Structures are given as structure tokens and as C-alpha cells.
Chains A and B, each alone.
Chain A
Amino acid sequence: MFDRTTWWQSILYYTLLILVAIAILFPVYYMFNISLKLPKDIYRTPSLLPVNATLKNYEDLVTEYDFLINLRNSLFVASSATFVSVVFSSMAAYSLVRLKYLYRDWIGRLILFTYLTPSGLLFIPLSVIVARLQLGNTLHGLIFVYLTFAAPLSTWMLMGYFKSIPIDLEEQAMVDGATRIQAFYMILLPLAAPGLVAVSVFTFTAAWNELLYALIFITSPDLQTVPVAISRLITGDVFRWGLIMAGAFLAALPVMILYYLAQRFVVQGLAAGAVKG
């Protein structure tokens, strides 16, 4: 591995990488290709290059289907859920890693266990609870559900991350007169920034992409999130492929960019969460 890479090794490596890239990009490209075509061309002249390429689908999405409202709703839901989830899970992770108290390990197990529950099981009971809390058909209800689903994994990853940070720094600060809480958010949290970014990215993506619960909890058109809006483009037995793919592309783009930019932290966060956890 640390031999000098010979030329034929290089050729092998890059050939493999290019093959992988094609396998990854082809579906994404095809989706983009379809999004540039009108219905008639999609069905009548299937092709790998867009025939009569047009931005009409994108234009219709924005003007006729109020897609920007859906994007706004998704953005609000995903970022709120992410923020609250990161706050809750970093508090919980700190508590579980740095503080000692009765039943701590059991609480840790409870949180992990949550993560492993089959979500199909919770469908009906959850809709009852959300309605009882007067959160049915509100974005807040969605935020609440998403943060609860995302926080256990975040907590576990952050626990791993916090464990990897030496306790000495915090102890030093406390000797210097800082309270525990100050030591937590002034010393530990900044050091754990990559981990925080990683769990934020995960939570944001999960909330941004979620379809099933959004479909059931949200009925008002002006509260629908992006996945719900896209699913409504399949009406009865008609798939409006051009619009669906345009919507899908717009939905996937922000997350893909987010991942691309934050990949270093994602990798670090995963490493700490899984390795040290």
C-alpha cells in the first residue's frame, strides 16, 4: 500500500474508479435527462441524450405546482429538526459519557434500542399521539417526529466522538473555575465540531427525504414537504415522469452538495461514532 504506485497500478485504480463512477452517475444522469424532456418525448422516443431538451418541467414545477413552497417547508422542517436533535443529542451524549449516575447504562441502551425499532410498527400509534398533542397537520409535528427518530443515532455517534476527546482539557477548565456546563459547551463542543457537523448532515438528510410520515401527518397543500409534493405527481395511474424527475433532481441537489462539502466531517464523525462507540 505504501509501495510506490507503479504505472499499471495507476491504470488499474483509475479504470476501476471510472467504472464505479459510471455506475453511480448513470441513474442520476438518466434522471436529469428525463427531467429535460416533454412527456411525449419520454414515451415515444426513449434516448440517452435529451431530445428537444427543455426546462419546461422545472418551470411548471415552480409556477404551477408551487414547488418553492414545498422546498421552503422541507427546509424549515429539516433544519429545525436538525438543530433541536443536535442540541438534545449532544446534551444526552455528554451526560452519558462524562457524568456518572444510577441507571446510566440502561438509559444508553434504551436510546440504542429505540434506533432499532421497526418503523412500520409505529405507524398507527404514532399518528394517534401526534393528533392528541394537537400536532396533526402541522410542520411542528413532523419536526418532533423526525428529531425523535434521528436523535438516537446522533447520540450514539456523538458519544463515540466525545469519548475520543481527552477529558483533561475539561478538567483543567473546571479547576480554573469553569462550571461543568461551561466546560461542556466551551471546551468539548468546539472540539467535537466535526462530529456535530456529521450528525447534522445525517439528520438533515433523513428529515429532508422522509416520505411516509409526511404523507400521513400533513394534509394541507401549503404545508406539504418536497417528497410529498413529488409523490402527488403520481396521480392514480399516471406518472408525470418529466415533472417527477425534475422535482427529484431539485430535491436531491441540495443534499448532494451538502454531502460533497461536508464529506470530511461525515467521514470523521462516522469513524469516531463507529470506532470508538
Chain B
Amino acid sequence: MVRNESYKTPRFSLRQLDSLLGYVLVAPLVCCILLLVIYPFFFAIYISFTDRVIGSEGEFVGFANYLAIVQKPDFQASISNTIVLVGAVQSIKLFIGLGLAVLLNQNIRARFFWRGLILLPWAMPAFVAFITWKLLFAPQGGAFNYILINLDLVTTHVDFLSRDLAMPSVITASVWRGFPFWVISFLAAMQNIPRELYESAALDGANAWQRFLHITMPGIRHVVLVVILISTIWTTNSFEAVWLMTGGGPSNATMTFPVLAYYGLQSLRIGEAAAVSVSMLPVFAVLALIVAVNLQRED
């Protein structure tokens, strides 16, 4: 057994040594973050105030980029589309997540198997998942149209990615890929609720719905909140679903913020592209604040 030197010759107090150790242990991560996230972050904000085009430094132009983008119909469309997409995806996932978690928390045989199965979509690479869905939705050669036509349910191909159906289609694919995280998190939280609570409630004659409302929900409330917030940030940020399935079309019907920013990059005007990304930040800041408050709340 090795004795700690500081016990014998305390040149530093134990407290000082601890805080030194604290800094040392957290330093590698903080250094990485400062270099690869914080610095680029402020750099990007700076770029959004310049007329920078790929290959030139660009000059400070104040809010010109912001004024230019808010006038674009794509930008206006992307605000409402992002809200609709995120809102719908999150509420459906909440509903399915709670439902399936309750279901899996019953006396189910082979729960291990079912739980593993439910994790499957989440284990699939996002871009793989979404090009598969694109193929499923395709008018020609797509599975859904094949089934619908062969069952004589429709007489002509359904265009799942048309203006009216594109958003529901993107929502379906996003829910498919994203719901496992919700089910599994909720299930994990439910399994942490002491069984005795349910047993005594059952003795008091509470029915299943009452037990769900008064025991399960309060027990998992915190997790539900955290999952909603984290997943909202993921979903708002994610660009694969829209980019791979519709590219924001048709006629902006599915244009969202990240896709719009990516288009900006393609036109080489990175000042404008950065402005699109930066204008999302206030929303993220609010979400981040709520998450931070909730996560850091001492229990």
C-alpha cells in the first residue's frame, strides 16, 4: 500500500490538493471543449456579422445578414415548419414512449427481447434509417405504394413526399427513429419506483389509471422533463431526416432551420449561413437554461 505523501509533509492542505486534483481531472475535457466547441462557436457568431464568402475574409456588416434572411420566404417557412415538426414529433414520441414503457413494465414474458427490439431503430445509423424510409415512401419501387396498389386500396400511386404528405411522412420517419430513447428512459425510471408503493396503493383500492397518475407519473416526472428537453434539442438540430427525404421541399413544405443553414453553406455565403444557425440560438439558450436548472438541481 502506498501512502500519500501529503499525509506526512503537508506542503499543501488536503483541501488545496483536492481542488488542484479537481482541476487536473477536468482539464482534458475542458481543453477539448474550449478548442473544438467554444472557440468555433464564438467564431461562427462573429462570421454571422460579416459578409464572408468562402475564401475571403469578409467585412463586418452588422445585422445585414439577419435582415436579408428574415425577408426570405424560406426563412419564414422554416420557422413554422421547425415548430410543427418538432412539436408533432415530440408529442407523438411522448405518447408512444409513455404507453410502451407502461406496457413493458407489466408482467411481460421475455422483456429482455422486447426491450432489445425496441432499441433497434435507435441503433440504426440515422442516415441509413432515413434513406430506407425514403425508399419505403417512394412512388416507384416503394414498399408502401406496392402494398397499397396490390391490395387495391388505391388506384394511382400515392406521393408520400408531396406538399401535403411530406411533413407527415418526415414526422413518421423521425418518430420511428427517435422513440426508443423515450421508451427506454421512461422504463428505466419506472423500474426505479419502489414496488411497495404500488402494492400499498393496490391495497387501498386504487385502480390502474389512478396508480399511473399518482405513483408512476410523479416518480418519472423528472426523467420525462429531461428527456423532452434533450430530445427537443436533438430533433431541432437534426437535419438528416429532412435533408435525405425531401431536401426541404416541395416548395418549402418541409424546410427547417438546419437544412436552410446547410443550403447557405452550399451557396458559399457562410456569413449568411452562420446567421441562419445563430438565429436559432435564443431558442436553444432557453432550452439549455431549463435543462441546466433541472439537471443541476441538487436532489
Residues of A126-181 at the interface with B, using a CB-CB cut-off of 8 Å, are 126, 129, 144-145, 147-149, 151-152, 155-156, 163, 177-181
Per a CB cutoff under 8 Å, which of A91, A208, A251 touches B28? Answer: A91
Q: Is A1 an interface residue (CB 8 A)?
A: yes
Q: When the two chains form their complex, are residues B136 and A148 in contact, meaning their CB atoms are under 8 A apart?
A: no
Q: When the two chains form their complex, are residues A121 and B41 in contact, meaning their CB atoms are under 8 A apart?
A: yes
Q: Which residues of A contact B112 (CB under 8 A)?
A: 263-264
Q: Is B121 an interface residue (CB 8 A)?
A: yes
Q: When the two chains form their complex, are residues B118 and A24 in contact, meaning their CB atoms are under 8 A apart?
A: yes
Given contacts A110-B33, A255-B124, contact A271 B191 (CB under 8 A): yes
Given contacts A17-B108, A120-B258, A121-B44, contact A178 B143 (CB under 8 A): no
Q: When the two chains form their complex, are residues B133 and A211 in contact, meaning their CB atoms are under 8 A apart?
A: no
In the complex, the chain B residue whose C-beta lies closest to that of A241 is: B135
Q: When the two chains form their complex, are residues A230 and B198 in contact, meaning their CB atoms are under 8 A apart?
A: no
Q: Which residues of A contact B29 (CB under 8 A)?
A: 88-89, 91-92, 111, 151-152, 155
In the complex, the chain B residue whose C-beta lies closest to that of A133 is: B35
Q: Is B30 an interface residue (CB 8 A)?
A: yes
> How far, in angstroms, from A163 to B114 measured CA to CA in the complex?
30
Q: Which residues of A contact B240 (CB under 8 A)?
A: 211
Q: When the two chains form their complex, are residues A100 and B18 in contact, meaning their CB atoms are under 8 A apart?
A: yes
Q: When the two chains form their complex, are residues A120 and B277 in contact, meaning their CB atoms are under 8 A apart?
A: yes
Q: When the two chains form their complex, are residues A126 and B21 in contact, meaning their CB atoms are under 8 A apart?
A: no
Q: How far is the CB of A15 from chain B (nearest CB, A)?
A: 11
Q: When the two chains form their complex, are residues A267 and B21 in contact, meaning their CB atoms are under 8 A apart?
A: no
Q: Which residues of A contact B195 (CB under 8 A)?
A: 2
Tally chain B residues at the interface, Cβ within 8 Å: 104
Q: Is A238 an interface residue (CB 8 A)?
A: no
In the complex, the chain B residue whose C-beta lies closest to that of A44 is: B141
Given contacts A13-B103, A108-B296, A274-B185, contact A252 B123 (CB under 8 A): yes
Q: Is B43 an interface residue (CB 8 A)?
A: yes
In the complex, the chain A residue whose C-beta lies closest to that of B211 is: A1
Q: How far is the CB of A151 from chain B (nearest CB, A)?
A: 5
Selecting from B59-67, B85-93, B162-170, B280-288, the interface stretch reads B280-288
Interface string of A243-277 (1 = CB under 8 A from B): 01100100110011011100110111011001111
Q: Is A119 an interface residue (CB 8 A)?
A: yes
Residues of A34-68 at the interface with B, using a CB-CB cut-off of 8 Å, are 34, 42-43, 46-48
Q: Is A125 an interface residue (CB 8 A)?
A: yes
Q: How far is the CB of B131 from chain A (nearest CB, A)?
A: 7
User: Across the A-B interface, how many residue pairs have beta carbons closer than 8 Å?
Assistant: 287
In the complex, the chain B residue whose C-beta lies closest to that of A211 is: B127
Per a CB cutoff under 8 Å, which of B106, B176, B202, B274 touches A5? Answer: B106
Given contacts A121-B274, A151-B32, contact A270 B44 (CB under 8 A): no
Q: When the two chains form their complex, are residues B43 and A252 in contact, meaning their CB atoms are under 8 A apart?
A: no
Per a CB cutoff under 8 Å, which of A20, A23, A178, A258 touches B1? Answer: A178
Give B contacts to A, CB under 8 Å. 1-4, 15, 18-19, 21-26, 28-30, 32-33, 35-41, 43-44, 47, 100, 103, 105-108, 112, 114-129, 131-133, 135-136, 140-143, 146-147, 176, 184-185, 187-189, 191-192, 195, 198-199, 202, 208, 211-212, 222-223, 226-227, 233, 236-237, 239-240, 258, 261-262, 265, 270, 274, 277-278, 280-281, 284, 287-288, 291-292, 295-296, 299
Known: A20-B100, A100-B18, A252-B123. 14 other contacts (CB 8 A): A24-B117, A25-B120, A46-B142, A101-B18, A121-B278, A148-B33, A151-B29, A259-B120, A263-B184, A270-B184, A274-B188, A274-B189, A274-B227, A276-B299
Give A contacts to B, CB under 8 Å. 1-3, 5, 9, 13, 16-17, 20-21, 23-28, 30-31, 34, 42-43, 46-48, 88-89, 91-92, 94-96, 99-102, 104-105, 107-114, 116-126, 129, 144-145, 147-149, 151-152, 155-156, 163, 177-182, 205, 208-209, 211, 227, 230-231, 241, 244-245, 248, 251-252, 255-256, 258-260, 263-264, 266-268, 270-271, 274-277
